[in-house]
Amino acid sequence: MIKRLLIAATLLAALGGASRAQADQPVTETVLGAGAIAAPFSFDISSPADVVVAKAVVQPGGNFGWHYHRAAVAAVVQSGTLTLYDGADRHCRPQRFTAGHGFVEQRRHVHLARNEGRTPVVVLVTYLGLRHGVDPDVPVAAPGNCPF
Does the predicted TM-score (pTM) go above 0.85? no
Q: Is the predicted pLDDT of residue 21 greater than 90, yes or no?
A: no
Amino acid at 89: D
CATH number at residue 96: 2.60.120.10
- Residues in contact with 84: Cβ distance below 8 Å, sequence separation at least 6, in sequence order: 94, 95, 96, 97, 103, 111, 112, 113
The partner residues of 51 in beta bridges, in order of sequence, read 128
Parent domain of 127: 33-139
Domain count, the chain: 1
Give the tens place of pLDDT for each residue, 48-96: 788 899 999 999 999 999 999 999 999 999 999 999 999 999 999 999 9
Structural domain contains residue 55: yes
